[in-house]
Structure 1
Amino acid sequence: METASAEIPDSPGLNRRSLLRGGAVAGLGVLMSSSSVFAAPDKAVAGGPEPSADGLMLTKFKDPLRTPPVLRPRDRGGHDELTVRMRTADVTVHSELPPVRMWTYEGSHPGPTIETVRGRRLRVVWENHLTGNIPVTAVEFGQPGGPMSDPLSNYPGAQGCQEVAGVAGLEPWAAVHLHGMLTGGGNDGWMENLVGPGEVQLSAYPNDQAATLWYHDHTHHVSRFSVYAGLAGLFVSRNAEERALDLPKGRHEVPLVLSDRNFALDDSGALTGRLVHKVEMVGTTLMRAHAAPYTLVNGVVWPYLEVQPRWYRFRIVNAANSRIYRLMLLADGRPVPGAFQVIGTDQGLIDKPLPVDGALNLSPGERADVLVDFSAFRGRSLKLVNTMEGVTPGGSSTRHDLLEPDVMQFRVASSGSAGRFTPPRTLSPTFKRPALHDLPHDSRSRWVVLVGPGSANVPELWEMEEMEQTDAKGITFPSAGIVQVKDAEGTVRTLRRTAMHYDDGNAFTVAHHGVEIWKYLNLAASPHPMHIHLAHFHVLSRENYNVTGFDRAVRGSVRPIAFLGAAELEPHELGEKDTVRVGTAGQIAPGPNGTPGELVTVAVRFPVVGRGVHHCHMLEHEQHMVRPLVVGPAAHWHAGGHH
């Protein structure tokens, strides 16, 4: 468990004894220690600690997986209430590493798992008790001529790096976003509505979902540092439909919150535990996606979990800044076919279990609810690893920030009952995946084009509008901000950029309860996880496109971006979602156009109103690839004759 900083005393009414007792805490709801809920089996005969990759120093699989405590709200009659405190704490993430100073929710990383019941409206008081400047040292490095073959981000310490100006003095402002919660803009954790130490954010959530969500800081411009500092936690809402399935529960239902971190070194070369946010710069201002060498699961570096030879349920969240996790389960170094049975996506259960063929790809912000059967592995150990296409599963690739591919170890007991559970054939009888003919005929189409670095050397998000053919005839190609797309039927559409920067104006304005078709076209070399606030969606299709017709210097297409073929959606993309990866996951390809472009089409529903945003959930891209979004009652747009 965490070790509270001596400088940060417990607030009155909440101390370590009351947390572990699991009793009621006045004004805070009920916080339950989870160590007994997810206790390990009595006996495991396989597995054990292993050395990590050269230069990383910490032993893998030495520490058990820690499950965050569970925080349940108090019943206030017509609604539930909860208070969650942000506080600075020293957190143990590995037994061979000094405690790590973090900004946390309730003193733990991840924060407590907030567990609720669907249909119970929830009010949360997010109290800011954070102290000191941000506990992160931000550095960058680079060399002339392009990316390094073995970048410094693979290793701890800041040697060979420059400190990033303006980060060390960041004060503890905060804005809490409950990611995936369908709530109005006034309660969504708007990224500029900050609360400082001693202040509170009051949020009311309809809580009309049964899903795995997560909460994290969303402070504009600095979320890549504040989330890295530790401000993230899990949120689970249950309903009667889920309870009736008799899925694995108690110690057999385990959250897995994935992230990566790096740490500083002292003068002797020993790890200090100080968080280091390290990125590679290509040229002077182009930042590669953040990647760190130490993988944390539930805040523990490379943990192990002792399991019984039976079915388990894992709620997996990618809470990393930018890393995409391509997860495989290995036994004796070989992938276990169909190891993951997906039963739920970002927004809840799907209709039936779906086996994963190959890797389970989760980009930042995405969640997957999966079942795993350990009954065939009595007395053996398995590894959960991160992989890349072109690299043998379990192998490393320093060039692609995969020095240490291991995520965690499972140690399967040699004895014990396998139980009587079998995955239900039907999970959610109310789930229905829409087809195009199910959508309203007047559904509006939006185009969002994701573009590689331009003159400012940062990735760009372009909002586009489709031009009439007569208007497009006089255009000379290439022209800045003009992209032509040739679809599977051979139809050529001409798109004109309408906005790019956060403050460009002309925000997407959407009708409350409206349904729209959003088309995300990725012209960049890297994938981007796209997240829409105030909404949920179904992914309709994923298609490959030839993007070599895009002129990166002029910032427009020389010839149409042309359809190549349809691509398959993955099992965790077949349910309701709020975040989707646009671009090929984990593919190693040479050159800026080596990775095929992708067009991902989603059907978006807007059940709540207010001002929100849509953005890339790679946090290092967020401040550049973010645009406002406004959802309002359609009748208001025309009231009194105004438009």
Structure 2
Amino acid sequence: METASAEIPDPSGVNRRALLRGGAVAGLGALMSSVPAFAVPRDAAPGGPEPSADGLRLTKFKDPLREPPVLRPRGHGGHDELTVRMRTADVTLHSELPPVPMWTYEGVYPGPTIETVRGRRLRVAWENRLTGNIPVTAVDFGLPGGPSPDPLSNYPGTQGCQEVPGVAGLDPWAAVHLHGMLTGGGNDGWMENLLAPGDVQLSAYPNDQAATTLWYHDHTHHVSRFSVYAGLAGLFVSRDAEERALDLPRGGHEVPLVLSDRNFGLDASGALTGRLVHKVEMVGAKRLMRPHAAPYTLVNGVIWPYLEVGPRWYRFRIVNTANSRIYRLMLLADGRPVPGAFQVIGTDQGLIGKPLPVDGALNLSPGERADVLVDFGAFPGRSLKLVNTLEGVTPGGSSKRHDLLEPDVMQFRVADRRPSTRFTLPEVVSPAFKRPAHDDLPHDRAPRWVVLVGPGPAGVPELWEMEETGAEGITFPAAGIVQVRDAGGTVTTLRRTAMRYDDGNTFTAAHGGVEIWKYLNLAASPHPMHIHLAHFQVLSRENYDVTGFDQAVRGSARPVAFQAVAELEPHELGEKDTIRVGTAGQIRPGPNGTPGELVTVAVRFPVVGRGVHHCHMLEHEQHMVRPLVVGPAAHLHAGGHH
């Protein structure tokens, strides 16, 4: 890994003693995968390295988990300030893999965790010091006959693939978005306000929202799937008095788990080179892109790491920063799931009312976060695995066809000593938290409708903004017309008003207002939907029969119809900014094998400006994105105009 250079001054706000809990380093760039960031428990448990799936060439659980360095801003009068530099660096992701050239924040991947205190306004200077072209080789592959039973994306290398044009020469432009921060449009990291090398993006953040875990990442329009893959992502943690009063596990017992996946190139001898490879399958004659999936799982920038823990409670801040992969997480002991292993205490936007146990898997789509507590007290002297799973596949088992060649995520090695009883799971986490009541919701206007549709003539999935209309004079099926029959039998007719990024009729919301948004997924793939300038609570998730939608005409031949109420998961019951619309981890054959879903959310708009709402699968972002404008309510009607 690149070492810190004396020619580049330290970033403002770096507290050297805070860079790594449990270890001292010479600088941000000197962080090595062989240096653990956590105190090693005495009497460490069994467990150890294991071979990975055939063809992957790296040993699992060989390298310790490391914690990203911590940046704390410096006070400057009534606000705090911080400088974060984007730098090209060689990063060690595995001790058996050559250093990987990456675009980074401060020379590390993931970037430093910015840690702040609620109520302290924050100004960040994001400096672009990136050099060279994007350090990613983009390729695709596919056969006219349909999806492969063992796609090439399961394996490293580019053999059998073709290069995606226009990627290799991409220059290091950037736009930084602090995902989940409630800040105005001028500071949100607008995806077309690009930052050239040598320039600085100055962003002011109110930083006045509940203690939580956010994350920052590149948001450059059209190329975010490559720039984030190149390494431009990091965490942002906000703390407040309510959180401190809970006396939750802290220090070495509070651990971020930043999840991502990557693939790499091979040299002529078949050895891994460390070159990042972005590889996707294009299906059929129309070359429909499957969601991106890579075979190597990284946690905090380490491939299949291990973490030595004590037999006690730990707090994990889990963040899915992958391009498109949904992580369906389970904790296994002796190959069997640990019931209720995860106790959810917080979601995207803060703490919830009480701990909620996860029954089954913890599903996190790209952009989602979960704050969880895990008790290792019942496992002294044993090792456990965190795995990615699919419904219908034995937990810990693989499925080549469904991009799960290697299901293991990381290993926990529990020290062989008496369990600690110093922490007790609290009955109440956030007394201030509440779910929306009837009077908290608007009942005097129609909801917003967003319909997610499978690939159209351009071969890519689409996001349709809709408006309610009458059915008179319409011959069904009609392009852009969708009818929905709800649980009570009422049929609503929807007309498409916008689809492309540059279409008119932008959603315009009132500052301080609350709106109901309904996301209807008619496609086989789930989509994580993210709203800028806002936060929301999920009101319901429902299954719908979507076989009445005519994919060829792009309209419904008969109404898509309510089937059943689906249960909201624990991490979906708090304040959110990203929500998965569509089933996670299910294997069902056929174009309509996956049931459609209708997810209803109550959206609040506490800041103003121009932002976007979009799918957070980065391979979908450029074509499933629409502008969103939030303005003062009085301005929307000034002079008699609306």
Q: TM-score, normalised by structure 2?
A: 0.96
Q: Is 2:410 the partner of 1:408?
A: yes
Cα distance in 2, alignment partners of residues 287 and 509 from structure 1? 32
Cα distance in 2, alignment partners of residues 571 and 343 from structure 1? 9
CA positional deviation for 1:531: 0.2
CA positional deviation for 1:420: 1.4
Partner in structure 1 of residue 465 of structure 2: 463
Over 3 Å counting, the alpha-carbon distance change for 1:439 and 1:133 in structure 2 is: same
- The superposition leaves residues 588-642 of structure 1 with CA deviations (integer Å, 9 ceiling, x where unpaired) of 0001100000000000000000000000000000001000000001211232344
Q: CA RMSD in A?
A: 1.8
Over 3 Å counting, the alpha-carbon distance change for 1:420 and 1:618 in structure 2 is: same
Q: Is 2:99 the partner of 1:103?
A: no
Partner letter of residue 144 of structure 2? P
Cα distance in 2, alignment partners of residues 563 and 444 from structure 1? 19
Partner letter of residue 530 of structure 1? M
8 Å Cα contact 1:148-1:399 kept in structure 2: yes
8 Å Cα contact 1:527-1:583 kept in structure 2: yes
8 Å Cα contact 2:297-2:409 kept in structure 1: yes
8 Å Cα contact 1:309-1:412 kept in structure 2: yes
Cα distance in 1, alignment partners of residues 79 and 334 from structure 2? 50
Over 3 Å counting, the alpha-carbon distance change for 1:583 and 1:44 in structure 2 is: same
Partner in structure 2 of residue 397 of structure 1: 399
Partner letter of residue 241 of structure 1? E
CA positional deviation for 1:14: 2.2
CA positional deviation for 1:43: 2.9
Q: Which 5+ residue runs of structure 2 have no aligned equivalent?
A: 21-26
Q: Is 2:65 the partner of 1:65?
A: yes
- The superposition leaves residues 233-280 of structure 1 with CA deviations (integer Å, 9 ceiling, x where unpaired) of 000000000000000000000000000000000000000000000000
8 Å Cα contact 1:19-1:33 kept in structure 2: no
Q: Is 2:114 the partner of 1:136?
A: no
Over 3 Å counting, the alpha-carbon distance change for 1:320 and 1:211 in structure 2 is: same
Secondary structure of residue in 1 paired with 2:169: coil
Cα distance in 2, alignment partners of residues 207 and 32 from structure 1? 28
Partner in structure 2 of residue 188 of structure 1: 188
8 Å Cα contact 1:20-1:33 kept in structure 2: no
Partner letter of residue 366 of structure 1? E
- The superposition leaves residues 300-346 of structure 1 with CA deviations (integer Å, 9 ceiling, x where unpaired) of 00000000000000000000000000000000000000000000000
Cα distance in 1, alignment partners of residues 300 and 174 from structure 2? 22
CA positional deviation for 1:32: 12
Cα distance in 1, alignment partners of residues 336 and 616 from structure 2? 32
Partner letter of residue 75 of structure 1? G
8 Å Cα contact 1:185-1:612 kept in structure 2: yes
Partner in structure 2 of residue 545 of structure 1: 544
Partner in structure 1 of residue 301 of structure 2: 299
What is the percentage of aligned positions where both structures have the same residue? 83
Instruction: After TM superposition, list the pairs within 5 Å mapping 1:225-624 onto structure 2.
Output: 225-283=226-284, 284-415=286-417, 417-442=419-444, 444-468=446-470, 472-624=471-623
Cα distance in 1, alignment partners of residues 267 and 29 from structure 2? 37
Cα distance in 1, alignment partners of residues 19 and 233 from structure 2? 24
Partner in structure 2 of residue 27 of structure 1: none
Cα distance in 2, alignment partners of residues 436 and 580 from structure 1? 22
CA positional deviation for 1:20: 5.2
Cα distance in 1, alignment partners of residues 121 and 36 from structure 2? 29
Partner in structure 2 of residue 159 of structure 1: 159
CA positional deviation for 1:415: 1.4
CA positional deviation for 1:33: 9.8
Partner letter of residue 418 of structure 1? S
Partner in structure 1 of residue 24 of structure 2: none
Over 3 Å counting, the alpha-carbon distance change for 1:228 and 1:222 in structure 2 is: same
Cα distance in 2, alignment partners of residues 280 and 20 from structure 1? 44
Secondary structure of residue in 2 paired with 1:442: coil
Over 3 Å counting, the alpha-carbon distance change for 1:514 and 1:11 in structure 2 is: farther
Cα distance in 2, alignment partners of residues 163 and 248 from structure 1? 47
Cα distance in 1, alignment partners of residues 37 and 230 from structure 2? 27
Partner in structure 1 of residue 23 of structure 2: none
Over 3 Å counting, the alpha-carbon distance change for 1:23 and 1:498 in structure 2 is: closer
Cα distance in 2, alignment partners of residues 278 and 439 from structure 1? 44
8 Å Cα contact 2:449-2:517 kept in structure 1: yes
CA positional deviation for 1:437: 3.9
Partner in structure 2 of residue 91 of structure 1: 91
Cα distance in 2, alignment partners of residues 193 and 219 from structure 1? 8
Cα distance in 2, alignment partners of residues 459 and 153 from structure 1? 20
Over 3 Å counting, the alpha-carbon distance change for 1:172 and 1:415 in structure 2 is: same
8 Å Cα contact 1:536-1:577 kept in structure 2: yes
Cα distance in 2, alignment partners of residues 538 and 32 from structure 1? 39
Cα distance in 2, alignment partners of residues 630 and 344 from structure 1? 28
Task: Tell me which moved more, 418-427 or 199-208.
Answer: 418-427
Over 3 Å counting, the alpha-carbon distance change for 1:547 and 1:86 in structure 2 is: same
Cα distance in 2, alignment partners of residues 305 and 505 from structure 1? 51
Secondary structure of residue in 2 paired with 1:484: strand
Cα distance in 1, alignment partners of residues 425 and 234 from structure 2? 28
CA positional deviation for 1:423: 1.1
Partner letter of residue 202 of structure 2? L
CA positional deviation for 1:441: 2.7
CA positional deviation for 1:156: 0.2
CA positional deviation for 1:383: 0.2
Q: Is 2:8 the partner of 1:12?
A: yes
- The superposition leaves residues 363-416 of structure 1 with CA deviations (integer Å, 9 ceiling, x where unpaired) of 000000000000000000000000000100000000000000000000000015
8 Å Cα contact 2:467-2:496 kept in structure 1: yes
Partner in structure 2 of residue 223 of structure 1: 224
Secondary structure of residue in 1 paired with 2:291: coil
Partner letter of residue 266 of structure 1? D
- The superposition leaves residues 551-594 of structure 1 with CA deviations (integer Å, 9 ceiling, x where unpaired) of 00000000000000100000000000000000000000001100
Cα distance in 1, alignment partners of residues 36 and 64 from structure 2? 14
Cα distance in 2, alignment partners of residues 438 and 192 from structure 1? 35
Cα distance in 2, alignment partners of residues 11 and 23 from structure 1? 20
8 Å Cα contact 1:84-1:127 kept in structure 2: yes
Partner in structure 2 of residue 168 of structure 1: 168
Cα distance in 1, alignment partners of residues 232 and 148 from structure 2? 31
Cα distance in 2, alignment partners of residues 36 and 147 from structure 1? 41
Over 3 Å counting, the alpha-carbon distance change for 1:600 and 1:37 in structure 2 is: same
Cα distance in 2, alignment partners of residues 43 and 629 from structure 1? 55
- The superposition leaves residues 171-196 of structure 1 with CA deviations (integer Å, 9 ceiling, x where unpaired) of 00000000000000000000000001
Instruction: After TM superposition, list the pairs within 5 Å mapping 1:73-88 onto structure 2.
Output: 73-88=73-88
Cα distance in 1, alignment partners of residues 506 and 6 from structure 2? 44
Task: Tell me which moved more, 434-443 or 225-234.
Answer: 434-443
Q: How many residues align?
A: 630
CA positional deviation for 1:13: 2.2
Over 3 Å counting, the alpha-carbon distance change for 1:10 and 1:231 in structure 2 is: farther
8 Å Cα contact 2:29-2:107 kept in structure 1: no
8 Å Cα contact 1:80-1:122 kept in structure 2: yes
CA positional deviation for 1:19: 7.4
Cα distance in 2, alignment partners of residues 152 and 44 from structure 1? 38
Cα distance in 1, alignment partners of residues 37 and 136 from structure 2? 33
Over 3 Å counting, the alpha-carbon distance change for 1:22 and 1:32 in structure 2 is: farther
CA positional deviation for 1:444: 4.5
Over 3 Å counting, the alpha-carbon distance change for 1:343 and 1:609 in structure 2 is: same
CA positional deviation for 1:347: 0.2
